[in-house]
Amino acid sequence: MSDDQLKRNIRPILHKPYGSMDLVSVKAPANHGSHQKDSNWWVVLNLAFQSIGIVYADLGTSPLYVYPSIFSNGIKHRDDILGALSLVFYTLTFLPLVKYVFVVLRAKDNGEGGTFALFSLICRYARVSLIPSQQAEDREVSNYKLELPSKRLKLASVLKSSLEKSQFAKIFLLLVTMLGTSMVIGDSIFTPSISVLSAVAGVKEVTSALTDDMIAGISVVILIFLFMIQRFGTHRVSYTFAPVLCVWFVLIGVIGFYNIIKHDTTVLKAINPMYIVEYFIRNKKDAWISLGGVVLCTTGAEALFADLGHFSVRAIQVSMCSMVNPALILAYTGQSSYLRQYPDEVSDAFYKSVPGPLYWPMFIVSILAAAIASQAMISGTFSIVHQSLSLGCFPPVKVVYTSANHEGQVYIPAINYILMLACIGVTAGFKSTVKIGNAYGTAVVFVMTLTSSLLVLVMIMTWKTNIFLIILYILTIGFVELLYLSSVLYKFTSGGYLPLALSAVLMIIMYVWNDVYRRKYHYELDHKISPARLKEISANKNMSRIPGLAMFYSELVHGIPPIFEHYVSNVPALHSIIVFVSMKSLHINKVPPEERHFFRRVEPRELFTFQCVVRYGYKDVREVAFEETLVTKLKEFIQEEILLQNQMLSTIGNNAEKGTESEGEIVERNNDVANAKQLEEEIMQQEIEQVQKEWEEAGIVHMIGESEVIAKKEANIMKRMVIDHAYNFLKRNVRKREKVFDIPHERMLKVGMTYQL
């Protein structure tokens, strides 16, 4: 058999047409890091200590403003304090402790938590994602693989099938995720405002000369300073967070215990839930309205889940149960005991209940704790926006990585300044923790309710929880959250409108960008270059080849994008090596580097053209040395491709030996196979050397599509408003694509084209 015959037999197997899904991944032995085993209690305790400084700052500072928000109109009956304390106790028990620490934390996505983690879990079990660039190979990524619902579990199977068939359900899930994300961003506006304002208000204990305007002004100065230092990152000072918060929790716990002993030990009977019933009977509608203040004791509970990626589940459980929850219960019980003696001082219950000698230490620690709580929420917002960017749900903005050792620490200048202006506006505009609390409560309860909604889907489809336990969860946790939601919505005109208005603006921005992103992808898919056209380009004798390596960037992963057609129509020259690069995000937190690059050779072979899909998770950071990494992976792909061919040739030779051929024919075939292997290895070596030579001598040219997006003439008014006005307005005011990819200007060529969507 001749060499050409052998190649014709083998290559169709290895080199499918470019429209196929058969990609070859360049992989190395997996070496995934993971948390230490929870059985190592020293590691758990160390992580638990660290988690106190990151996870609990917002939750821990809530005693500063909860009782003033509950009793905004004063205490009308002495036993109302017991009813409020009982509400706080059971709210802390059911929501942060039971729901988040012992239920929600189980819904981790490869160690990550948050709204996107829940959405990603659902998208991987049921094909409900609207991201158009999905491929069958994505499910082969090690972090992606999950057990699919069993056919035996009818409910999980039926729900999965229903979600996959319903376009409305897919859009609704995306909107729910966007709303949850928007509300968390809203939290990062209200947390700094209410925490800093509450802490600074304590100075009124030593001087009555300060007015509310002055305290608001001091708070604004602190907030400006806090946002100005964000550019330096938190890694330089974060090691002090845990000790400061530990001191804070010890102080509020000790002071709470002191107040219980000194003022009124009978407050301990508030553990009896009958005091809640009596509180509602006595106050009726006012008791229901006060729930908007009670729920503020759970502010920061979502951080228990959102910051899960930094710590293990067991570490968060240990820190919550051993220090945080007991300290908070003691703090609220101590304030209640003090208010039983001095009910008229409820507007400043926290500082009034602090013993005189501890006032200044407590004031200083409270300022630091408020700053840490603010810092945690601001950093969390940067992380959430970064995740939204990865999944195509947010316009491109500049992302700065502030730590070489911790890739998750990012700083986004545009978001930082927007948050700063919003915080200043809220603090200077409301000047009162009660009014800010009305807005804050709305954001907190909405996030909790949306988390529960997604969690129920996870329970049904992924955990396959017993239906009676799911119903129990809905009837208890779900009912409590809906009750709180109804209360905070009652205060809509008193500040509750603000987080809803902010979330509406953010959701419009996110959905418009994501919607047009998906439309552009489908346009490219409909206008991709056919195999016949590629053969024409390859056979065109007027098309010259010039030295160098050209990278064409496109979102398209299912074929050759139309940007290539525009290029060859205007420039009658092609570089020696062409790589079509597609960057895509998967519904997982991280893609192992050894599984990130998928290459495929584009036929005809004479074009020396490849397609590379570079896959990232929503927590991944793009490589600094992107060019070098891609060239290295390309050479590895060529080598692996030839190895696969040689294995196939060996298989043909072995099969021939088992057949009916004569000994002479077998020897001849084996010689042909050996010659073909040698020829392929020579070709491989030549191609690898050519890639290295072109990269070193001629360099890389980056081809970026400069697209103009317009609506079709027959499009309706709504579509025109979204595409021609909203999207193009956003596009004009966000980072350009080449800056997002960090492409050198001198090696970049823009290819203009128009998308009619």
Per the model's pLDDT, the better-predicted residue between 269 and 309 turns out to be 269
Please indicate, yes or no, whether residues 543 and 465 belong to a single structural domain of this protein. no
- Residues 6 or more apart whose CB falls under 8 angstroms from that of 687 comprise 608, 638
Spatial neighbors of 261 by CB under 8 A, at least 6 apart, are none
Q: Is the pLDDT of residue 623 over 90?
A: no
- Does 373 reside within a domain? yes
**What band does 21 get if pLDDT is binned at 50, 70 and 90?**
very low
CATH of the domain at 482: 1.20.1740.10
Question: Residue 755: what pLDDT?
Answer: 84
Q: How many domains does the chain have?
A: 2
Measure CA 546 to chain center: 43
User: What's the pLDDT at 328?
Assistant: 97
Reported as a single tens digit per residue, the pLDDT across 59-93 is 999 999 999 999 988 999 999 999 999 999 999 99
- Model confidence at 302, pLDDT cuts 50, 70, 90, reads confident
Q: Can you name the residues that pair with 584 across neighbouring β-strands?
A: 615
Q: Does some domain include residue 23?
A: no
Do 88 and 184 lie in a common domain?
yes
Per-residue model confidence as pLDDT tens digits over 593-617: 888 888 888 888 878 889 999 988 8
**Can you tell me whether residue 583 is helix, strand or coil?**
strand
87-101, 124-138, 608-622, 642-656: the lowest-pLDDT one = 642-656
Which pLDDT value is given to residue 343?
A: 94
- Residues facing 545 on adjacent strands: 574
Q: What is the mean pLDDT of residues 370-381?
A: 84
Contact 35, 110 (CB under 8 A): no
Can you give the pLDDT at residue 3? 44
> Do residues 580 and 466 both lie within one domain?
no
Regarding whether 335 and 249 lie in a shared domain, the answer is yes
Q: Is 494 exposed, middle or buried (0-12, 13-18, 19+ CB in 10 A)?
A: middle
- Residue 590: phi, psi to the nearest 5? -145, 145
Q: Is the pLDDT reported for residue 380 higher than 90?
A: no
Q: In this structure, are 625 and 746 located in the same domain?
A: yes
Top-ranked range on mean pLDDT: pick from 88-102, 231-245, 423-437: 88-102
Residue 136 and residue 138: Cα distance in Å, rounded?
A: 5
Report the chain's mean pLDDT, rounded to a whole number: 83
Distance CA(20)–CA(14), nearest Å, equals 11
What is the structure's pLDDT at 242?
Answer: 85
Whole-angstrom distance, CA of residue 307 vs CA of residue 530: 46
Does residue 14 register a pLDDT over 70? no
Containing structural domain, residue 181:
62-516
Type of residue found at 135: Q
Is the residue at 98 inside a domain?
yes
Does 556 lie in the same domain as 443? no
- pLDDT, position 143: 67
Q: Give domain status of residue 52, yes or no.
A: no
Q: What is the share, in percent, of the chain residues with pLDDT greater than 90?
A: 30
Q: Give the pLDDT band of residue 703 (cuts 50, 70, 90).
A: confident
Which of 516, 550, 573 is a domain's end point?
516
**With a threshold of 0.85, does the pTM exceed it?**
no
Q: Domain for residue 589, yes or no?
A: yes
With beta carbons less than 8 A apart as the criterion, state whether 476 and 93 touch. no
User: Do both 495 and 552 map to the same domain?
Assistant: no
Q: Is residue 712 part of a domain?
A: yes
Indicate whether 572 belongs to any domain: yes
Which candidate, 523, 504, 512, places its Cα nearest to that of 718? 512
Q: Of the ranges 122-131, 461-470, 567-576, which one carries the lowest mean pLDDT score?
A: 122-131
| E strand intervals along 603-648 | 609-616
Name which residue leads in pLDDT, 149 or 327.
Answer: 327
Per-residue confidence band for 237, with pLDDT thresholds at 50, 70 and 90? low
Query: Which residues on neighbouring strands pair with residue 109, listed in sequence order?
Result: 112
Cβ neighbours, 10 Å, residue 101: 22
